[in-house]
Structure 1
């Protein structure tokens, strides 16, 4: 039943929904965060995991009353990290914009430059930091995000630089100087409310150098912006210098870029004149067919040299910035950036102490207007099969763990610093617990949802309307499930994978990016632990993972020393320039194997694909997954009743089951239980608790309240919600682009949650069921009927709450 509800961003949770016990206040009491054994640990040896929200732009400088209320609210939810994000944003007049507030921005833009702090804004920022720390909430600090560089900053070129412009701050020396100056002022400033600078405060878990920044990011969209042309020209000029350093002369470059009489260097291009064009890309590293048209605008040779150039630029910049931050006295792990879509981009950011990535589902197109959002689909998350996502609209509907896994690197902690499944589809609650569950399976270290709210005040955003899907403070799918998510992730209620699979990239692999490069990501993170490995000293893998899978962009990785190996190649050449054809690698890898299908070989140690394009060339990876699953089971890496079965993905721990074809995802551990999607006839949440559902879609979560084990508990927190959103939302056809049909989603009406309708059966002598509102206050109860099976509750959905307290008598019914 649809019930209108309200969720206020500043009201603390109470009673059973008060999850502040998950925190250990004050933040920093266990010492600084360190990297140890590929994970975060505090100095006293305590393992550190973080789950929280971004607060963006103007929300970084709330007034003191708002800071007090928000710190209390976050603590009561079980939030143990806040990313203070985009505090450098320019000033805006309206409270509903992604800007700093006019009254108290952190940067004093009124001075005509970005080199000074506003006294009031800095005081608010410091106070907010101190209140969060006091409650046991740690801080993720970023440096360059949305800074709107001004002519008064003494820039190299006239006209300033628009906010959120990517790529150029990695190259331009003056912009780098300004980034260092900001870091010095921000991190060494002593907070009067804590008595510590951020560099000396163990409540800070990390400093992020840049947000979504990379030398490899495309600049094609900047061509028409007059003030950015000099920066774009600088990048091209430096690329040409790189080419001269590598090849010396135009003639030698022309020879290197010529294949079978076809030259990729145009007649009007000369590195000595700075006219060799860069490889145009998009917002993330663009794909590139290693066997593609040689003289295409972004053909294999140009792309390979631009990737090599971009990797060097990224590593030079991030090493320099990291060394500078260390010289200031920063003690915590430092991360480079966080929107990494390809192997070269990931490798170019590995000089950070750990890795981050951003991953979104149903992300609207930008810009948006009022409450109208343009989105592909929108698509129901629980029905999206990661194995077939590339046959649809690609990364726009890729499940979050698949996207994130691109940047997971062996030996380094990993966090998703921004993620969300925006609520344009009326049933989207699966995505949040789904992501936390697979983060546990893959033993990730942090999840920071984007974005709690974008405002400097506690009372200027409605509790019963969605004005902006990017602000999720009153998204019922997030807030009503948050306590369950926090308990699962922070307490590790879902077991990590029993095994580890590593995807191995050679240095040559980094110079191309086949369209289907993410194929392993669409299967492995859902059944076992997956990480990426980059070989720096030759092409031989010498790791100790249970299985090594070569990335296979090119044909050079040697996995002969792996315990088990999966071998294939998207190109028959060892190199991106197609000079060195490899005839022997796959043949040798398939020795002592049986040809189980034409061109596919399986043995005790290896699975070999002669022509991988015949298996996954169209982006449907189900056949690849079936064969990989067969190998994993033959090798004893995945149990026979786990892995892939009739389209269902079952983790090697057997605690997670994802069946997108039937729109079902479930968790079953000794400590918690969860079901989301299309309800079966009866859903067993435990050996004692069963639900029959009338709703077409439902998410059900069960968490013991008084004991650790479900089997021993007498009191439970039950969460149940179906569709959510605004009850008069309108869906209209939107634009079509790249063969994709978009939808214009107009949010209107009032906030609602679809409550549970059906029957709850508790196999016990007696039971009581209370309904709670979103902050944990009792708003009603259901009377149970004693039956031979136990106590049966008929749920009508009449109460406007998605959370329940279930009390049971553990005596078995007659």
Structure 2
């Protein structure tokens, strides 16, 4: 039953929903965070894991009362990290907008430059950081995100540069100087409330050089307005200088870019005149078929050289900035950037001490009109099959885990610094716990959800309306599951995978990107742990994973030293320029194997696909998963009842089951029980507790108080919700863009959550059930009926609560 509820962004949790016991205040008491053994640790050797929120733009400079209230609220939720994100944003007039507040921005844009701090804004920023630290909440600091460069900044070209520009800040020397200046002023300024500069404060987890940026982001066209023409010309000039350095003359370049009489270099293009065009792109690294048309706009030769150039520019910039930050005195890991999803782009960001990525599902198109959002779908996450993720709307349907996993690198800690499944679909609670569970399985180090709120005041956003879908402070699907999520992730209540898969890239692989490059991430991280390996000294893999899978963009990786190797190739050549065919690699790999189906060979150590294009089809990877599952079981890596079983993805720990064909996701461990999706006749959450739900969709989360094992507990916290959102939201037909139909979702009405209808069954002599509001206050007590050896609580959905305290006695 739909019931209206309210969730205030600044009211602290109480009672059993107070998770502040998960924090160890003050932040920094265990020493500085270090990156070692592929994870984050504190100086005293304690493993460090983080789960928290972004607070963006104007929310970085709250007034002191708001800072006090928000720190208390976050602590009561068990939040142990806040990303102070986009504090450099320009000033905006609209309350709640993605901009700095006019009253106290961090940067004093009114001075005509972006080089000075506003004293009031800096004081607020310092006070907020100090209050978070006091509560045991760590800080993620980013540098350049939304800064608007003013003409008074001493720019090389007239007109300044707008907020949130991408790519050019990695190229232009004056912008680089200004970034270093900002880093020094922000990080080395002593906070009067802590007595420490950020550079010396162990409450800081990491320093991020920039946000969602890369040398190959955007395109070579008119992507940022008239004032950016000189900056675009500079990128063009740099690329042409790179080509001259590599080829020396146009004639040599023309020869390299010619294949079978077809030349990819236009007659008007000459690197000496700076007229050779780069590769067009967008928010992600564009794809390029290694067997595609030679003279296509993103043809193999042009693409290969631009990726090589982009890697060089990324690494040049990030290594310089990292060195500078360490020169300032940084004692914590430095991260390069996030939102990286292609092989060249990921490799170009590996100079950081840890890796980060951003991952979204049902992300609306921008700009937003009033409270109407355009979204492809929207799609229900619990029924989105990762093994068919690349069909239809492509990256818009990419699952959170699949997209995020593209940036995991062996030997480096990993965090998702931004992620969300936005609530345009009325049932969207699955994604949040699913992400936390798979982060445990893959042994990640942090998850930072975007975005808690965008406001400088504690009382200026409603508790009973969603006015901005990007702010999750009152999204029941997030907030009412947060305690379960934070317990699961920070306490490791879902087990780490028993096995590990390495996806192996050669240096040649970095110069192309097949359309279906994400195939491994649609399967492996759902059943075991997965990481990426980039070979720098030759093509031979020498790692220690249970399975090494070559990325296979080009035909070169040598996996002969792997425990088990999986071989395929999207191209018959070793190189992107199609000069050198590799006729022996796959042929040698099939020795001592048997053909288990046409073109697929399996042996004691190797699985070989002769024609991976046929196996991958049009992005439907279920055949690949079936074959891979059979091989892993033949090798004794997966038990028979795990892996890919009748369409279900079952972790090698047997704790996580994802059944997208039937819209079901579940977790069963000694410490927690979870179910989300289309209800079965009886949903077992533990040996003692099961639920019968009449809702069309239901999410159920059960955990024992204080995170102890459930079989010995007498007190539990249960969450039960169906659909959520605004009760008058409309779903209309939007435009068709790029051949993709979009929906127009308009949020109207008041906040609601659908309550459980059915019954809760408890095996016990006696039991008490209390219905809680979202901050843990008791709003009703339910009477149970004794039937045999169990007590049944009939739930008609009439009480407006979706969280419960269950006390069980013998």
Does TM-score exceed 0.5, indicating one fold? yes
In the superposition, the TM-score normalised over structure 1's length comes to: 0.99
CA distance in 2, matches of 1:679, 1:392: 27
TM-superposed deviation, 1:288: 0.5
CA distance in 1, matches of 2:220, 2:707: 57
C-alpha contact 2:732 2:743 (8 A) present in aligned 1: yes
CA distance in 2, matches of 1:621, 1:229: 43
| Aligned residue runs from structure 1 range 103-182, under 5 A | 103-182=103-182
1:227 corresponds to: 227
C-alpha contact 2:765 2:789 (8 A) present in aligned 1: no
C-alpha contact 2:773 2:802 (8 A) present in aligned 1: yes
Q: Aligned to 2:364, what secondary structure does the other structure show?
A: coil
C-alpha contact 1:499 1:529 (8 A) present in aligned 2: yes
CA distance in 2, matches of 1:416, 1:699: 24
1:76 corresponds to: 76
C-alpha contact 1:706 1:713 (8 A) present in aligned 2: no
CA distance in 2, matches of 1:626, 1:555: 23
1:42 aligns with 2:42: yes
1:30 corresponds to: 30
Q: Aligned to 1:356, what secondary structure does the other structure show?
A: strand
Q: Aligned to 2:775, what secondary structure does the other structure show?
A: coil
1:703 aligns with 2:703: yes
CA distance in 2, matches of 1:88, 1:244: 38
In the superposition, the TM-score normalised over structure 2's length comes to: 1.00
| Aligned residue runs from structure 1 range 264-303, under 5 A | 264-303=264-303
TM-superposed deviation, 1:229: 1.0
| Aligned residue runs from structure 1 range 323-722, under 5 A | 323-705=323-705, 708-722=708-722
| Aligned residue runs from structure 1 range 780-799, under 5 A | 780-799=780-799
C-alpha contact 2:503 2:551 (8 A) present in aligned 1: yes
CA distance in 1, matches of 2:67, 2:763: 46
Paired residues in the alignment total 810
Q: Aligned to 2:128, what secondary structure does the other structure show?
A: helix
C-alpha contact 2:220 2:236 (8 A) present in aligned 1: no
2:212 corresponds to: 212
CA distance in 2, matches of 1:190, 1:776: 38
C-alpha contact 2:480 2:803 (8 A) present in aligned 1: yes
C-alpha contact 2:671 2:707 (8 A) present in aligned 1: no
| Aligned residue runs from structure 1 range 198-209, under 5 A | 198-209=198-209
C-alpha contact 2:772 2:779 (8 A) present in aligned 1: yes
Q: Point out where structure 2 has 5 or more consecutive residues left out of the alignment.
A: none
* 1:538-575: CA deviation from partner (whole Å, max 9, x where unpaired): 00000010000000000000001100000000000000
C-alpha contact 1:89 1:99 (8 A) present in aligned 2: yes
Q: Aligned to 2:366, what secondary structure does the other structure show?
A: coil
TM-superposed deviation, 1:404: 0.3
C-alpha contact 2:453 2:473 (8 A) present in aligned 1: yes
TM-superposed deviation, 1:223: 4.5
Q: Aligned to 2:481, what secondary structure does the other structure show?
A: helix
C-alpha contact 1:83 1:139 (8 A) present in aligned 2: yes
TM-superposed deviation, 1:789: 3.2
CA distance in 2, matches of 1:707, 1:365: 39
* 1:729-753: CA deviation from partner (whole Å, max 9, x where unpaired): 0111001112211000000000000
Q: Aligned to 1:92, what secondary structure does the other structure show?
A: coil
Cα 1:166–1:687 change in 2 (3 A) is same
Q: State which drifts further: 737-746 or 475-484.
A: 737-746
Q: Aligned to 1:456, what secondary structure does the other structure show?
A: coil
Q: Aligned to 1:588, what secondary structure does the other structure show?
A: helix
CA distance in 2, matches of 1:395, 1:379: 13
CA distance in 2, matches of 1:578, 1:734: 43
CA distance in 1, matches of 2:392, 2:546: 32
TM-superposed deviation, 1:391: 1.5
CA distance in 2, matches of 1:377, 1:224: 29
C-alpha contact 1:219 1:232 (8 A) present in aligned 2: no
CA distance in 2, matches of 1:260, 1:423: 52
C-alpha contact 2:221 2:280 (8 A) present in aligned 1: no
* 1:330-382: CA deviation from partner (whole Å, max 9, x where unpaired): 11000000010100000000000000000000000011111000000000000
CA distance in 1, matches of 2:165, 2:606: 46
C-alpha contact 1:509 1:552 (8 A) present in aligned 2: yes
TM-superposed deviation, 1:220: 4.6
* 1:288-343: CA deviation from partner (whole Å, max 9, x where unpaired): 00011101111110000000000000000000000000000011000000010100
| Aligned residue runs from structure 1 range 93-108, under 5 A | 93-108=93-108
CA distance in 1, matches of 2:477, 2:140: 24
Q: Aligned to 2:184, what secondary structure does the other structure show?
A: helix
1:57 corresponds to: 57
C-alpha contact 2:220 2:279 (8 A) present in aligned 1: no
Q: Aligned to 1:233, what secondary structure does the other structure show?
A: helix
CA distance in 2, matches of 1:180, 1:443: 33
C-alpha contact 1:150 1:161 (8 A) present in aligned 2: yes
TM-superposed deviation, 1:802: 1.0
CA distance in 2, matches of 1:706, 1:70: 23
Q: Point out where structure 1 has 5 or more consecutive residues left out of the alignment.
A: none
C-alpha contact 2:593 2:606 (8 A) present in aligned 1: yes
TM-superposed deviation, 1:707: 6.2
CA distance in 1, matches of 2:571, 2:378: 35
C-alpha contact 1:725 1:753 (8 A) present in aligned 2: yes
2:188 corresponds to: 188
CA distance in 1, matches of 2:706, 2:87: 41
* 1:518-542: CA deviation from partner (whole Å, max 9, x where unpaired): 0000000000000000000000000
C-alpha contact 2:220 2:278 (8 A) present in aligned 1: no
* 1:55-83: CA deviation from partner (whole Å, max 9, x where unpaired): 00000000000000000000000000000
TM-superposed deviation, 1:706: 5.2
Question: What RMSD in Å do the two structures reach over aligned CA positions?
Answer: 0.7
C-alpha contact 1:506 1:557 (8 A) present in aligned 2: yes
C-alpha contact 2:464 2:750 (8 A) present in aligned 1: yes
